[in-house]
Structure 1
Amino acid sequence: MILKIRVRGGGRVVLDRELGNPAGSTPAMVPVGVELSPSPQGLEEEYGTLFTPASLLFLHQLVTEFDNEVDQVLQLRVSRKAHLDASGDLPAFSRATSHIRDDPSWTVLPVPPRLQRRHVDVGDMAPCDTERLLHALRSPAQGLQIDFDDGNCPTFYNQIKGISNVCKVVHNQFPDIPALPQVPVLMLRPRAWNMVEHNMLVNGREVPGPLFDFGLLMFHCGKALYNSESGPFFYLSKVESFMEARLWNNIFLWAQHQLQLPRGSIKATVLIENVLATFEMEEILYELREHSAGLNCGIWDYSASFVNKFGHRGDFLLPDRSKYVNMEKRFLRSYMDLLVQTCHRRGALATGGMAAPLLPPARDSPAHRTVLANVTRLKLLEIQAGVDGFMVYDLRLIEPMQKLFQQHTGGENQLHRVREDVTVTPEDLLCMPAGGVTLHGLQYNIGVGILFIHAWLSGKGHFFYRGQVEDSATAEISRSQVWQWILHQARLEDSQRVVSRSLVVQLTQEVMKELTEVTACQTVRAAERLQTAAEMFLEVVLKRDFPEFLTSYLNLDHTFLSSQREEEASVALLSKL
């Protein structure tokens, strides 16, 4: 195996010769044009372990094989949005795929035993946070959502650290952590299709973020996960159509062949986070029927997708989420009921969203009891709807929620509940809840949006605010609502003031006083970062055209890219002290 490396101007490592095939297969001569940024300071060992000649070849082949198809599904998103805008049409169940929905004979393959009774996963588990990861691995949770997407900030440092930590768990390299079969099952969540990896180029183009994450995780962990009967299992984020599911299925087939794993080894849960995907859930399961672990329903990314697709239409003005938007509303309850019915009809597992509240530390306090009661009430609604599991963020919620499942399901999944009582129409799915806009809701959305951008500039993908965890999903709905309310000149219930550009700017200045205390800005640099976050938030919500994804917008912004380097340098310095 021959590998020649040279360093080009700009600091990228360039692999420009030829490598043999990975996984012990017959060597073949393949051209390699990979450019890779140098190791983040402090991660030289992890970097060297992950980026071997064989793994780089695997990544090169993976990206070369599927890069054009990634472009095609992203172009399909643009064309569908353009059609909806130009025609004024609304989504519906497609006649072209009715034969799939009308055929009662097909089901997904049964999932492995470790997925059959997975009631409570831990969500927003950014794997670069080693301390929290190890704590969760020792918890009684049945699964961990190893999140490179919503709860993670994709700096190069975080990606390398996170993937390396997953490899260490899989290969039992952490002291005092049991081997794979004895720890919660790892549900690996690569970035979504809208994200790119700036630090690696293949054939002169930046690599799609999900291919970077999936490729390294599969190459280094796939066989070990399979041999221990613990995977490889994935969450697939922000899938919008069955064509995207078909692309993932082709990627799975390719990776299994390359790594000499049996067909169907990979199992994936698709997160239905977009309103268009709701009309194609059966088709999505059908495309992934050899590899499906089911579907997942959330609330905030899904709600934000309405603004994304229809936000300029007055009929789709989404009211104050803190007061009028919850899973009891018709459009969300219909979505959850249809998801459960669809999954169970096809033998797939249906999972619910994440409980974001944090339990107050004093267990006997009224505040603690109130939070636990609210979480219990909302999660009981999901159990009664027929879900087979859901997520929590606070590890202290694991056992109470497992007991809740035990009480109402006997500890089993609910696949037997096919929900024949459910009939969901397009009107049910597209019915916006009644309600208006409150001053509190507007201020809350502003605060969440600014704090999320501030967290990203600090190299973090989630943060805590007013008693619960917030991540990119809540940031998406927050900035989406502010943008939409300005566009439609919504009026505040409290005072009948119009939500205007000037009002949002004024309220941002007022909210910043609270946020300065929340973020404990004790240095000039910290205060400047918070101010930058506020300016970026205003830039996003005041734009004429709606940025499709906040994370994409930030990931391409020079402010975030320069802050990455600053944060990684700071982490490296601290590690030496």
Structure 2
Amino acid sequence: MTFTTHVPGVTVLAQVPQTAESILTPEAISFLALLHRTFEPTRQTLLHARVQRQAALDAGEIPDFLPHTAHIREDPTWQGAPPAPGLVDRRVEITGPVDRKMVINALNCGALTFMADFEDSSSPTWSNMLNGQVNLRDAVRRNISFKGPNGKQYKLKSSGPIATLIVRPRGWHMDEAHFLVDGKPISASLFDFGLYFFHNARASLDAGFGPYFYLPKMESHLEARLWNDAFCLAQDTLSIPRGTIRGTVLIETILAALEMDEIIWELRQHSSGLNCGRWDYIFSVIKKFRARPEYVLPDRKDVTMATPFMASYVNLLIRTCHRRGVHAMGGMAAQIPIKNDAKANAEALDKVRKDKEREARAGHDGTWVAHPDLVPIAKDIFDQVMPAAHQLHIRREDVTVRSLDLLSTHTEGSITEAGVRANTSVGLTYMESWLQGAGCVPIHHLMEDAATAEISRSQLWQWVKHGSRTAEGRQITKAWVEQILEEETDKIKKSLGADRFSAGRWERAREYMRGCIGGEAYPEFLTTLCYPDLCEPVASAQGRSRL
């Protein structure tokens, strides 16, 4: 049984938490329905184009800069939007999920901005997505607080600046299965964006900043055009001036890297730059060229920012952004403090310092961290290298990047049994946590999210598909990887104990891992593969409420 809302054509297939009833108001639902009805046909066309492009790559196509948009790339005169209030200085950005405690701590931690993430570091349960909207609404109005299970109180600073809020909605490939418009699930992107914008556009302007967004997982400038069209309609509908919204695009796919100029062009009045989404970028290279043995990569730890295709990607991004007057943001430091091992902690923090110094000296205007303790480290390095608010004056005219440079994946490094086991353990552990509703997981002293789990399972698939050999001389076969999966699962079971293991979702996570590491069918995203497990079953749900 389903329950319709008071808005014609809109059905909610899950109970709405009482805390979120003020989010899913009839007016907000009508706004979401407008976005869906206007843009869903275009979204589906673009998703179909992804499938066609993948088929061409599987058949041997070598992607290149687009010839029909050369006039955009070659025109030196056009610019993106100037930096918006709260986005002039972005030297350190912290990222994390949208749970209430995280939002408070991130806004207070001393970072210049906070990317509140509905995507890779959040598990998209219905309650996570709705309560995340509640948390951000309260944060914009600075009346957010939280009492922990131990009685500790969390609240925003009573005075002084807090981080500028930027929201990352889910990518175009994801649906919000609990919210139907005319019998079809709404785009998760438009659901996340629409609810935040509807409730917070004016309030954020009153607070001195604007409705700002990070835009993930795009594969073409036409997908950026769809975002721009959604921005224009949203602003017009709520009588917000066009250009108020700003979007920073994460360059997380190899195909988007070939269309950086075009992506900024499509978002011109709404553009606040590009970001090096390094982990998803590595995942994209594996995924897009998965059928081709020349693109097999070594252990994840050996694919660094000094690897030729990664260095070319960074240099092109900085040059492109600064030529167009918008920020070029650096990537994530995934390390987290190691409290019980001083030597290991010092080594981890040294890696962070070297990474952030590389970014600052390359010309980035800011960087990402995943843990509050890394904020002062990153800030100190950028303060030394970048005394002004940004480095837009560093044009990087020394850079010339060809399409083949972006595809130059040969690198020093090897595939090892330790790497096979690490990928198996990370993928399994992350997927179990995701199925439990947590999308940001500390594993082996790194903050892992969906992107790093995607690399882990994709490398296993790639190595099996092409019969790669380890440095120890063993061929990687489906049977061997499945054996390692059983062994790593048994290790986890022994460490947790049978009762805790059974109380988790380990068996289900193992089932999913086994199905996507054998070199056969390749799921495009773990998040879409596993999402049905997070959807509340309509038939057995009790106590559903009519809005």
Specify which of 352, 372, 379 is matched with residue 402 of structure 1: 379
Equivalent residue letter for 2:353 = T
Specify which of 117, 128, 136 is matched with residue 89 of structure 2: 117
Indicate how the Cα distance of structure 1 residues 64 and 179 shifts in structure 2: closer, same or farther if over 3 A, else same: farther
1:13 aligns to 2:4 (yes or no) = yes
SS at match of 2:82: coil
Aligned partners of 1:13 and 1:38 also within 8 Å: no
SS at match of 2:298: coil
Q: What's the C-alpha RMSD, in Å, of the aligned pairs?
A: 2.1
Indicate how the Cα distance of structure 1 residues 521 and 54 shifts in structure 2: closer, same or farther if over 3 A, else same: farther
Aligned partners of 1:358 and 1:468 also within 8 Å: yes
Which whole-Å deviations, capped at 9, do the CAs of 1:452-491 have from their partners, x for residues lacking one? 2101211111211111111100011111100000000000
State the shift of 1:75 in Å: 1.2
Indicate how the Cα distance of structure 1 residues 540 and 411 shifts in structure 2: closer, same or farther if over 3 A, else same: same
Aligned partners of 1:180 and 1:230 also within 8 Å: no
Equivalent residue letter for 1:555 = Y
SS at match of 1:64: helix
Aligned partners of 1:483 and 1:542 also within 8 Å: yes
> Structure 1-normalised TM-score?
0.89
Indicate how the Cα distance of structure 1 residues 330 and 562 shifts in structure 2: closer, same or farther if over 3 A, else same: same
SS at match of 2:124: coil
SS at match of 2:86: helix
Aligned partners of 1:223 and 1:259 also within 8 Å: no
State the shift of 1:554 in Å: 1.1
Specify which of 173, 182, 185 is matched with residue 143 of structure 2: 173
Equivalent residue letter for 1:108 = G
Whole-angstrom distance in 2 between the partners of 1:520 and 1:145: 36
| Equivalent residue, structure 2, for 1:561 | 535
> Structure 2-normalised TM-score?
0.93
Aligned positions of 1:286-435 closer than 5 A: 286-322=265-301, 324-361=302-339, 365-434=342-411, 435=413
Indicate how the Cα distance of structure 1 residues 422 and 252 shifts in structure 2: closer, same or farther if over 3 A, else same: same
Indicate how the Cα distance of structure 1 residues 199 and 165 shifts in structure 2: closer, same or farther if over 3 A, else same: same
Specify which of 136, 140, 156 is matched with residue 106 of structure 2: 136
Aligned positions of 1:72-151 closer than 5 A: 72-86=45-59, 88-123=60-95, 125-127=96-98, 129-151=99-121
Aligned partners of 1:181 and 1:228 also within 8 Å: no
Which whole-Å deviations, capped at 9, do the CAs of 1:305-341 have from their partners, x for residues lacking one? 112211111111112112x201011000000000000
Aligned partners of 1:299 and 1:326 also within 8 Å: no
State the shift of 1:252 in Å: 0.4
Equivalent residue letter for 2:524 = E
Whole-angstrom distance in 1 between the partners of 2:501 and 2:386: 54
Whole-angstrom distance in 2 between the partners of 1:564 and 1:132: 31
| Equivalent residue, structure 2, for 1:507 | 484
Equivalent residue letter for 1:37 = L
Q: Which has the higher contact order (CA 8 A, sep 6+)?
A: 2
Whole-angstrom distance in 1 between the partners of 2:442 and 2:204: 33
- Percent same amino acid among aligned pairs? 38
| Equivalent residue, structure 2, for 1:478 | 456
Whole-angstrom distance in 2 between the partners of 1:485 and 1:448: 16
Aligned positions of 1:217-228 closer than 5 A: 217-228=196-207
Unaligned runs of 5+ in 1: 1-8, 17-31, 570-577
SS at match of 2:209: coil
Indicate how the Cα distance of structure 1 residues 520 and 461 shifts in structure 2: closer, same or farther if over 3 A, else same: farther
Whole-angstrom distance in 2 between the partners of 1:84 and 1:166: 40
Indicate how the Cα distance of structure 1 residues 452 and 51 shifts in structure 2: closer, same or farther if over 3 A, else same: same
Specify which of 173, 191, 195 is matched with residue 216 of structure 1: 195
Equivalent residue letter for 1:259 = L
Aligned positions of 1:193-204 closer than 5 A: 193-204=172-183
Q: How many residues align?
A: 532
Whole-angstrom distance in 1 between the partners of 2:81 and 2:535: 43
Specify which of 258, 264, 267 is matched with residue 237 of structure 2: 258
Whole-angstrom distance in 2 between the partners of 1:47 and 1:525: 32
Moved more, 512-521 or 540-549: 512-521
| Equivalent residue, structure 1, for 2:10 | 34
| Equivalent residue, structure 2, for 1:22 | none
Indicate how the Cα distance of structure 1 residues 180 and 342 shifts in structure 2: closer, same or farther if over 3 A, else same: farther
Whole-angstrom distance in 2 between the partners of 1:520 and 1:366: 30
| Equivalent residue, structure 1, for 2:122 | 152
Unaligned runs of 5+ in 2: 146-154, 543-547
Whole-angstrom distance in 2 between the partners of 1:47 and 1:315: 50
Aligned partners of 2:493 and 2:501 also within 8 Å: no
Which whole-Å deviations, capped at 9, do the CAs of 1:356-405 have from their partners, x for residues lacking one? 11112369x32222111111011111111111111111110101110110
Which whole-Å deviations, capped at 9, do the CAs of 1:47-87 have from their partners, x for residues lacking one? 2101111111111111111111111111111121222223x
1:487 aligns to 2:465 (yes or no) = yes
Indicate how the Cα distance of structure 1 residues 326 and 520 shifts in structure 2: closer, same or farther if over 3 A, else same: farther
Equivalent residue letter for 2:394 = R
Whole-angstrom distance in 2 between the partners of 1:519 and 1:400: 34
| Equivalent residue, structure 2, for 1:189 | 168
Indicate how the Cα distance of structure 1 residues 115 and 180 shifts in structure 2: closer, same or farther if over 3 A, else same: farther
